[in-house]
Structure 1
Amino acid sequence: MRPLREALASYRRHPLLCGLSIGAVGLSLVILGMFGLVAYNMGVAIGDVERRVEVVGYLLDDASPEQIRVARRELVALPAVEEVRYVSKDEALANARRDLVEFSNVYGDLRVNPLPASLHLRLREGFRTPEAVSEIAGDLEAYPFIEEARFGEEWVERLFALRRLAAGTAALVGGGFALVAVLLVGTAVRTAILARGEEIEVMQIVGAREGYIQRPFLLEGAITGLTGGLIALGVTRLAYTLVRTRFDGLGSLAWLPERWVIAGVLAASILGLLAAVHSVHREVGRAYGPW
């Protein structure tokens, strides 16, 4: 209980300094939280698009029903394939008339259906990379009754390039703001150490152990990080609610997963603790000698 009492006493002795430290940490984490919210929703949107990635194999007109049945059975057994759907010539024409409205008159006047039947392969999660999709397309084209297999190679590559860019940007920005938070907490703890210099020196003289002197400062750093994290969580949630309320078109905007929220608040507390550890060893050791 003593470390907690002393940590709280530090807040009472230096309310302005501690308040500014918590506010600055909270502001850094709010920006990080906003970016995380945007990055998460981008990931959700990209994931929705990824789930639509399909490999389509166009059949020759002389493909027999038995060949198609065998191919579907073999293809669906592949680890990467989630579903194999057969689209007949008539169904392909009906889809074209429905989806391509600008060509509805052309398709309506046709006496012979020019569209081929096809096999549509939906892939499992984890197998939607350009390399995996290309490999599945190759397996599909190996059947002699498949005229051509398509999957939009350039589109798939751009999709995954966007995902890699989003992940890299999130890591860079997240690391930058985490560093800012560490520096702010470290500054607050170092200031508290300097303000209590004489008290620390007396405790060293009377033989106080290292852990006895350190614990209040470490706890102060953890509390500062935790408080800043909770403030950032509240502000981020409020901003999310206001945006959804103000813009009805963003009704599909998703809130962060619960595990992200818990991990973020705990990470803020741990960052505060680590910053305090660094500051305690640096400032006390430099100013007052080794403990």
Structure 2
Amino acid sequence: MRLALREMLHAFRRTPLLSILSVTTIAFSLFALGLFGLVAINLRDALGQVEERVEVRAFLTEGTPEATARAAAEELGRVPAVAAVTYVSPEAALARARRELGEFNDVWGSAVLPASLEVRLRAGQRDPASVQRVATRARQYPFVEDVRYGAEWVQKLYRLRTVATATGIALGAAFAAAAIIIVGATIRMAVLARSFEIQIMRLVGATDGFVRLPFLLDGAAKGILGGLLALLLTRIGFAVVDRWFVHVRFFDAGTAALGVLGGALLGLLGSAASVGRHLRLVGTERRRWR
């Protein structure tokens, strides 16, 4: 291991330009993936905030006793998809209307608004089918006059969420595949630059594992450096967007560390693929000479 580490440091000094090229290639590949990740998590947060507003509102007939309405609210609250049910009296509904629609205060003077049950749904239970089931359950009460939940709006929101998730997975996989291909090609250049050294090591009896180890460590080290540089670039891009355009959320510590480890994995896989292919070529040439 000590010899492998020393060979890795020698490789950095012998081919500084190739080493810098490998690090920057990994960095910019991960930087592009990081920017896409920022867009994905902030879009998910935005959709989540909109989904929190999905609720079912059951309007009660005039004269429904409050005790009856509260009993129905308690019963609806036991439905698995329901997070909470709130009884809104006619007086509370009128006060809310005056507060939220103050420009129409002259209209609310003698208005009488119906009482209602406001049903909030649990996270993960706001898809059209779940909302429809809760609305159907609320309609079964004889004192419920009307149930509204914005069916068309809920369907569009769920469709947008599904499309965003599918697009995110597809683009994320495409970015990752492109990064692996580019990194592998870049590290292969470094392996080819040391092809003569690999041939000599094989001729003197070095095992494949002994030959591979310095390259694997070299690739992992470059991947870590590239990951750190990509994290720095992503942080700078985040700061610019957050300050001058729109408030966004950055990766948490675990996700950031995962990105750096992803860089190490990219470098490791790229080195393993490149040196493995070169070792197979060397082995083929040796068999020919025999």
Q: What is the TM-score with the length of structure 2 in the denominator?
A: 0.91
Q: What is the TM-score with the length of structure 1 in the denominator?
A: 0.90
When structure 1 is superposed on structure 2, of 164-173 and 20-29 the one drifting more is 164-173
Q: Does 2:262 correspond to 1:261?
A: no
Counterpart of 1:155 in structure 2 is 153
Contact 2:90 2:114 in 1 (8 A): yes
Counterpart of 2:276 in structure 1 is 281
Contact 2:188 2:274 in 1 (8 A): yes
CA separation in 2, counterparts of 1:205 and 1:48? 64
Contact 1:201 1:288 in 2 (8 A): no
1:1-291 equivalent positions in 2, closer than 5 A: 1-108=2-109, 110=110, 113=112, 115-247=113-245, 250=246, 252-289=247-284
Deviations 1:156-200 (A, max 9, x none): 122222222222222222222222221222123322222222222
Q: Percent of aligned pairs with the same residue? A: 43
Unaligned runs of 5+ in 1: none
Unaligned runs of 5+ in 2: none
Contact 2:70 2:87 in 1 (8 A): no
CA separation in 2, counterparts of 1:70 and 1:282? 73
Q: 2:280 corresponds to which letter in structure 1?
A: G
Which aligned segments of 4 or more residues in structure 1 are displaced greater than 3 angstroms?
none
CA separation in 2, counterparts of 1:34 and 1:101? 42
Contact 1:59 1:118 in 2 (8 A): yes
Q: 1:286 corresponds to which letter in structure 2?
A: L
Contact 2:18 2:190 in 1 (8 A): no
Contact 2:60 2:114 in 1 (8 A): yes
Q: 1:83 corresponds to which letter in structure 2?
A: A
Q: 2:279 corresponds to which letter in structure 1?
A: V
For these two proteins, the number of residue pairs brought into alignment is 285
When structure 1 is superposed on structure 2, of 76-85 and 59-68 the one drifting more is 59-68
Q: 1:173 corresponds to which letter in structure 2?
A: L
Q: 1:254 corresponds to which letter in structure 2?
A: R
CA separation in 1, counterparts of 2:106 and 2:182? 67
Contact 1:21 1:184 in 2 (8 A): no
Change in Cα spacing, 1:161 to 1:8, as seen in structure 2 (3 Å) is farther
Q: 2:209 corresponds to which letter in structure 1?
A: G
What secondary structure does 1:289 align onto? Answer: helix
